[in-house]
Structure 1
Amino acid sequence: MYKIAVIGDYDSIYGFAALGLDTFPVTTHEEAGERLHVLAAKGYGIIYITEALAAELKHEIARYQGQLLPAIIQIPGISGNTGDGVRGVKKSVEQAVGSDILFSN
């Protein structure tokens, strides 16, 4: 079974520990980039990352986009929702099923 990690600022991610997820609070985007690579190397299957942090790590996250694992999923932080996470999931689903699932006639 794959492990699940959450990366972001402490206030945004501490609640995920109650769900049994491994949380990794970071304070800088350099620290977050290093943590992302370590978690990917350790075989984490899903890595949640706050949207604000993901915006600073686009180049680092792009390294994993062509790979099956880890799945890197953006989540809103305490600063709010930018919509990037929803757009990313929508794009992934469109690629998987071959059509826009939210398009209605």
Structure 2
Amino acid sequence: MYKIAVLGDYDSIYGFATLGLDTFPVTTHEEAAEELHKLATGGYGIIYITEAWADQLKHEIARYQEEIIPAIIQIPGIAGNTGAGVAGVKKSVEVAVGSDILFSQQ
């Protein structure tokens, strides 16, 4: 069975531990990149990452974009929602169904 991880700044992710998820607080780019790689190759099927850290780790996340596992999902941090996570979901759905079906303007 795959595990679920949450990666980001401490204040944004510590509450996920109460849900039984493994939390990995990071403070530097190098630490975050290393931790992401460990999680992606260490039996984690889902990795939630704060939008702020996902923005800083674009190149590292791209390495896993074509892989089925792990699913790397952006979540808002305590600073608020940047919308980056929603854009990623929209693109994934468009690829899956072959068209722009979400947020169409009529």
TM-score bracket relative to the smaller structure: over 0.9
SS of the equivalent of 2:68 reads coil
Q: CA RMSD in A?
A: 1.1
Letter aligned with residue 23 of structure 1:
T
- Which residue of the partner structure matches residue 62 of structure 1? 62
Letter aligned with residue 72 of structure 2:
I
- Which residue of the partner structure matches residue 46 of structure 1? 46
**1:32-77 CA-partner distances (Å, limit 9, x unpaired):** 1000000111121110000001111000000000111111011100
TM-score by length of 1: 0.94
TM-score by length of 2: 0.93
Gaps of 5+ in 2: none
Percent of counterpart pairs with the same letter?
Answer: 80
Where do residues 1-105 of structure 1 align in structure 2 (5 Å cutoff)?
Answer: 1-102=1-102, 103=104, 105=106
Q: Runs of 4+ in structure 1 displaced over 3 angstroms?
A: none
CA distance in 2, matches of 1:100, 1:22: 34
Count of aligned pairs between the two proteins: 105
CA distance in 2, matches of 1:25, 1:64: 20
